[in-house]
Amino acid sequence: MLYLAIKAAVSGIIIAAVSEVARKNPGFAALIASLPLISILGMIWLWRDTSDPARLADHAQATFWFVLPSLPMFLVIPLLLRRGIAFWPALAAGCAITVLLYLAMIWSLTRVGVRL
């Protein structure tokens, strides 16, 4: 249980740090957020928990495929905000588009034999 609390605390500290940095320098915070820190931590925690190279390789490959459909969200949200759409509806639209793109990615990859 202590291990789970440590994993949650380390991950939470990174998120909190990004939000604090963003208050002073949004660009630098975006750079920090764009780093694959959570993915790296996830791989470290998975390796520590399982030491299974096949599972880690599957995880890393699936992460690659799932990053791609999430990228348009970072264009849709600012576009909507700049057009006067309120934050919550813009966020909801960005998330909805991402979910649809995830489903399309899963469907497409399944059709060409990639297992996620």
Q: 12-51, pLDDT tens digit by residue?
A: 898 899 999 999 999 988 888 888 888 898 899 999 999 9
Q: What's the pTM?
A: 0.77
Asked whether residue 24 is domain-assigned, the answer is no
CB contact at 8 A, 22 and 29: yes
Query: Maximum Cα–Cα distance for the chain, whole Å?
Result: 49
Q: Is 1 helix (H, G, I), strand (E, B) or coil?
A: coil
Task: Give all strands (DSSP E) within 1-116, no chain letters.
Answer: none
Q: Give the model's pLDDT for residue 11.
A: 83
Q: Would you state the torsion angle of the CA atoms of residues 94, 98, 100, 101, taken in this order, to the nearest 10 degrees?
A: 130
- For residue 76, tell me if it sits in a domain: yes
Q: By residue range, what is the domain housing residue 93? A: 53-116
Of 27-31, 97-101, 102-106, the poorest mean pLDDT is in: 27-31
Residue 93 CB-density burial (10 A; 0-12 exposed, 13-18 middle, 19+ buried): middle
In a domain? residue 63: yes
Q: How many domains does the chain have?
A: 1
Asked if the structure places residue 91 within a domain, the reply is yes
Q: Residue written as tokens 């990639």?
A: 114
Does residue 18 form part of some domain? Answer: no
Residue at 109 is within a domain: yes
Is residue 6 situated within a structural domain? no
Whole-number percent of the chain with pLDDT over 70: 100
In a domain, 4, yes or no: no
